[in-house]
Structure 1
């Protein structure tokens, strides 16, 4: 057999790969040459075709960066500068180039859901880098700092909608249209948390995307969940104007002109104005300006009169965009308990302090209370924050909290969280004694059917409330011969009308005879003088049957227990039964 003239298969593959790379380099060189000499740029279409048809991730990675370098060179050239396109032919070329750049952008947006992590990350990095170069080119052409809004809007849409990858073999699973965690974290850590302009435009475009749908039912579910996943992980928000100092688009970082009352420059998108002489009901929710921040009204510009450049340097504008994004998102997650729980978990610490009018959350949070369970508790926590920190008037708060005191809450897994939050809600010394009496009386009544772990939470909880509010001490000192006439009305829903203050805590006294020694010992605290300091409630919130059993099993005995009876010698017979003796089950099964 004559030897083959072809090289080995591995070498043929390497040679084929090298030829593709050389072809790629040749096309890129032709594009650069055409830009320098004013030749045809049709080679750009060839690069796009290669990128669309490539199935090899490693080679596609090279094609993407080749296209990126070519697009950056085009953006830096005068061919897309509208002010330098004087002829009709040059304007046609400019439009054609922008369309090709748009096609490349669409290709990259699709690759952000690719199964290859390297391609996903590269696509996002290229898109954000192109945003900087395109924005610089358009800012230079217009002599006004601006962002390439169309390009960034596509990025936001890709992050929230997660379109399918253009390559063969996209991610096919239930999470196909959910943003990939690695891509989300990269975008948040590198851009969203670091650059003020990216964050401002992200809020604006995400809000616009949600508002573009006619009704709540038409919004794709992945948009809502993806946007929430970005917002709940955002840990950086400016709290002072001096903190607005990091900008991805360098031109937008320059100090804007002080013309707050002038007309908006061309290309800006002002906010919807509100006439000054109109009776705006929303002013009811406005916070009174503090003396420290008070300035003459003539020097304060309304946000709708500011240009986009000025808004990026305005703390009030950042707070307004942040608030608009959250207020647009929340109605879409009201029907999903899991999403509502995630939003409520960050609402009181990560959202309210950065909103311009936090009390606008009142209706949505109040609706979440109706979910009950752990979600209702989180909603009550958010409501309490609005009441305490933002002067919200919600008179039914303690009535809603009182409704959570049911037999079920003593057996559920979020029992510890319930006691922790309830302790915070009842910590004020200005609460009416009737309300506090109703709470501790209801807890005492529930303790009669509660498991030991729950009783161990209730006793120190009630003790702490009695220590803080001496007016309730009558409930443990009252002695009534007619015990069956308890005036407490357990069916009353209002804690102000239960007559609990005229009752007593006889239920807690009954636990002195509880079968578990740790419960009976703890219950005796009400029979002693109230000189013991308040309990650290956290020490009692994590008890379960398992921890109680472990405590009893590992308890060290100081002395041996007294034995009252002598062990019977013939309790378990060790010899064969005599004639006429009846056998028992133990002797039949075991031999001693």
Structure 2
């Protein structure tokens, strides 16, 4: 029995040794094919053999793929300046026929590299990085020394439609190539083309002529496509504004931004010569101003095309959160976002809160007129706003929107009353920020100071509307700011905060009581200090606070009940034990 086991074990070991020896022999054969190809044209037939090893359907091992890539890249790189365009037809000259055939094999090489970059069978990430680097080298020099935009577009198209490897490829591009201005430039162009031909309703890819979609598994839903496009467009770093010392780094400086009109180039260069800022370049690279203008144009087209798509709700929220910082400053004409932002603002709820930042920038910095801003802003004042994720930014923008001294008294009074009414149901952190907001409103708009203490003129008669004296005239359900009757009311809700159960709220209200009477010695409250408050922040502040006086109670005798009999005359309290 033992001898049989030893025999089988020896056979297995012998089989594994044979497989390793065969693999090493084949690896040497592949390496030899590459050496022969590089040595002489007589071995040109080795070119198709090496290309077949890169075919994803051939199931080649990583060692064979790597060796083939190294040999083929070494073969094609010296021939780049001689290769004709892909669409060129060969002449009767044997050299022309040869170069045209080599060009077709180079296109096949690029196609296999693109397919390998997204192939889920390529388990080794280092090998995938080699594939991407080789592909980008072809993009750099494979078009007679110019940036090969068509190859790069196929690569971006493939990456966007990839199901599994899009994030991996995007991380590689972002870490190594998105620092080059020309790579970002052509990425925007590719994204715009993809979005323009995207069929999100059908949820399927529109194939490119030289890309095998079936092999690369590109059947994915429209929602996944939009997610992938957003991940790419949001990963591209913002380009710097041109300055005196701005020098853009390029992956390939030849022929990228050279399609500018002569008049435009002459005009910008003339301005630079006037100020002595012209810098000559050996590669005839245009000035930073021209490059920046071109980048803004492509950036704007890509983003505006993307925002037209039916964005999933998670992408929609991410876009709204970053739009005012990552997009608006770099658009050629930010006012183009007005339709997108006003539609978002009209949705209501958290979407309106998230779109307010960008809309506020368009109104204050780019001259957008939006008459319904305050009506929609007033409608957002709901109890749920105090637990919203982006409440801190909302309260700061609310304070900024109510800052203008030109606001009519009825509008300022309506916001003050709406906020004070919310103070009755808001958490303690909400009471703090509401007090700060109302305090600033009263300081900015003296015409509504009557809300601080307003008494009825006639305590016995009814007013013209039939409301009895002592009843608040403010209509909390009214959406028309002109009809809320806020100016006929008072801020009695804030007075109740003086007796709030949370000590920080009552202390804050008491500390601001004298501010309105001594305006010259006080300033507005910084809402930012209270906008992000919560139970946790209040608790931490109370724990750090030094207490000077501690309330104590002394009893001559230990009390036997919660209430004494003198507190409730005529009542007696007996415990259950005495009854028994």
Pick the TM interval, shorter chain: 0.7 to 0.9
- 1:112-511 map, 5 Å: 112-113=117-118, 114=120, 115-135=123-143, 137=144, 146-162=146-162, 176-177=163-164, 179-180=166-167, 182-192=168-178, 194-213=179-198, 218=203, 220-240=222-242, 243=246, 245-252=248-255, 259-260=262-263, 313-334=290-311, 336-480=312-456, 484-511=470-497
Q: Aligned residue for 1:60?
A: 65
Tell me the SS of whatever aligns to 1:252: coil
Structure 1 distance, partners of 2:295, 2:97, is: 38
Structure 1 residues 160-218: Cα deviation after superposition (integer angstroms, max 9, x where no partner)? 112xxxxxxxxxxxxx44622x53233124322x3222222211121111112367665
Cα pair 1:323 1:356 within 8 Å, conserved: yes
Quote how far apart the aligned CAs of 1:365 are. 1.3
Shift of 1:238: 4.3
Mapped partners of 1:313, 1:548: distance in 2: 53
**Residue 368 of structure 2 aligns to a residue in which SS?**
coil
How far 1:54 moved relative to its partner? 4.0
For normalisation by structure 1, the TM-score amounts to: 0.75
Alignment partner of 2:77 out of 48, 51, 72: 72
- Deviation string, structure 1 residues 500-539 (Cα, Å, up to 9, x no partner): 2332211101111222222222222453243443323233
Find the counterpart in structure 1 of residue 462 from structure 2: none
How big is the alpha-carbon RMSD for the aligned residues of Structure 1 and Structure 2?
A: 3.9
Question: What secondary structure does 1:18 align onto?
Answer: helix
Distance in 2, matches of 1:460 and 1:80, equals: 69
Normalized against structure 2, the TM-score is what?
0.77
Counterpart of 1:280 in structure 2 is: none
CA offsets 1:358-410 (integer angstroms, 9 cap, x no match): 11111111122244333321212111111111111111111111110112223
Q: 1:326 to 1:501 in 2, by over 3 A?
A: same
Rounded to whole Å, the distance in 2 between the matches of 1:438 and 1:70 is 77
Pick which of 402-411 and 324-333 moved more.
402-411
| Cα contact 2:181–2:248 (8 A) shared by 1 | yes
The alpha-carbon deviation at position 458 of structure 1 amounts to 0.9
- Which residue of the other structure, out of 548, 569, 572, is the alignment partner of 2:538? 548
In structure 2, the CA distance between the partners of 1:126 and 1:541, relative to structure 1 (3 Å rule), is same
Which residue of 2 is the match for residue 26 of structure 1?
32
8 Å Cα contact 1:411/1:450 also seen in 2: no
Segment of structure 1 superposing worse, 63-72 or 453-462: 63-72
Task: Describe the shift of the 1:515–1:6 C-alpha distance in structure 2 as closer, same or farther (beyond 3 A).
Answer: closer
2-side partners of 1:449 and 1:521: how far apart?
18
Seen in structure 2, the aligned counterparts of structure 1 residues 419 and 244 have a Cα distance that, compared at 3 Å, is same
Contact 1:457/1:541 (<8 A) preserved: yes
For residue 74 of structure 1, report the CA deviation from its aligned partner.
Answer: 3.9
Specify the alignment match of 2:524 in structure 1.
534
Give the secondary structure class of the aligned counterpart of 1:464.
helix
Contact 1:24 1:66 in 2 (8 A): no
Aligned in 2, Cα 1:198/1:260: closer, same or farther, shift over 3 Å? farther
- Distance in 2 between the 1:510 and 1:411 partners? 22
Say if 1:49 and 1:215 are closer, same or farther in 2 by CA, change over 3 A: closer
The 3 A distance-change label for structure 1 pair 543 and 148 is: closer
What is the SS of the residue equivalent to 1:250?
Answer: coil
- Mapped to 1, the partners of 2:531 and 2:12 lie a distance apart of 76
* Matched positions, count: 511
Q: Structure 1: 5+ residue runs without aligned partners?
A: 140-145, 163-175, 263-291, 295-307, 573-581
Q: What is the rounded CA distance, in whole Å, between the counterparts of 1:413 and 1:78 in structure 2?
A: 57
Q: Tell me if structure 1 keeps the 8 A contact 2:410–2:482.
A: yes
Q: CA deviation at 1:12?
A: 4.9
Unaligned runs of 5+ in 2: 205-221, 273-284, 460-468, 563-573
